[in-house]
A = this chain, B = another copy of it.
């Protein structure tokens, strides 16, 4: 971490690889794998930096490598031809962006955008696959994450059919709180995309929440004051 001058290229590479190993150790995808295997796959990981707002991949593009967030924050979303956009995962350090793609190679609906300047690790599809076949634990992790994603999507569907905007936003806010803590750096538009509603409705709901003393808002920032109150409205949490 102390980058005092005079380092050789090898030292730099080693340092980077060891950071990747560290990230993978805590990643839901690589969780439980032996250190030696983590080292092996970390050494095949390429870093790429994406400026805030840049596309990482677009809907319909074929998959050539496994992608994982190393630093920053990435939004994966699905949009319709009419422009409606649903954000379905805010991926941070250690979270994968495309679990299906490496296996099928086929394009999918998702698109990913860096919402902070981010570093993305990429492992060529073939490398990733042969690594996966040698590590059943990894496969189990992947299938389990996919199960979580499906459950979460089904929860969203139920909520859309049955719950009102306020309650959906309660749930989104509580989920974000669980993952990122009490300070959320999101605009109302981004929140609306997570809750499946419009900016206007979101702003109106936020006003209510503010008056109830549940949150405090500033431009581009929401502070959760009473998470327990938000929690009340629904035990099952989304995957966000």
Within 8 A of B (CB), among A130-152: 133, 136, 139-140, 142-144, 146-147, 149-151
A140-B103 contact given A108-B147, A150-B149, A158-B78, CB 8 Å threshold? yes
Within 8 A of B (CB), among A206-223: none
When distances are taken between beta carbons in the complex, the residues of chain B under 8 Å from A161 are 84, 86, 160, 196-197
When distances are taken between beta carbons in the complex, the residues of chain B under 8 Å from A157 are 78, 86, 88, 153, 156-157, 160, 196
Q: Tell me the nearest residue of chain B to A86, going by C-beta.
A: B157
Q: Tell me the nearest residue of chain B to A88, going by C-beta.
A: B154
A58 interfacial contact with B, CB 8 Å: no
Contact A144 B104 (CB under 8 A): yes
Size bracket of the A interface:
35 or more
Greatest chain B CB density within 10 A among A139, A140, A158 is at A158
Contact B150 A104 (CB under 8 A): no
A33 interfacial contact with B, CB 8 Å: no
Contact B100 A154 (CB under 8 A): no
Number of this chain's copies in the assembly equals 2
A109 interfacial contact with B, CB 8 Å: yes
Q: Tell me the nearest residue of chain B to A151, going by C-beta.
A: B109
**Shortest distance from the beta carbon of A69 to any chain B beta carbon, whole Å:** 19
**Shortest distance from the beta carbon of A31 to any chain B beta carbon, whole Å:** 13
Contact A154 B109 (CB under 8 A): yes
A117 interfacial contact with B, CB 8 Å: no
**Shortest distance from the beta carbon of A197 to any chain B beta carbon, whole Å:** 8
Interface residues of A (CB under 8 A from B): 78-80, 82, 84, 86, 88, 99-100, 103-104, 108-110, 133, 136, 139-140, 142-144, 146-147, 149-151, 153-158, 160-162, 196-197, 236
A-B contact pairs, 16 of them (CB 8 A): A80-B158, A80-B162, A100-B147, A103-B139, A103-B140, A103-B143, A103-B144, A103-B147, A109-B236, A133-B136, A143-B143, A146-B147, A146-B150, A150-B150, A153-B156, A160-B160
Told that A100-B143, A104-B143 touch, could you supply 11 new A-B pairs with CB distance under 8 A?
Answer: A78-B154, A78-B157, A78-B158, A84-B158, A86-B154, A86-B161, A103-B139, A104-B140, A108-B147, A160-B160, A161-B196
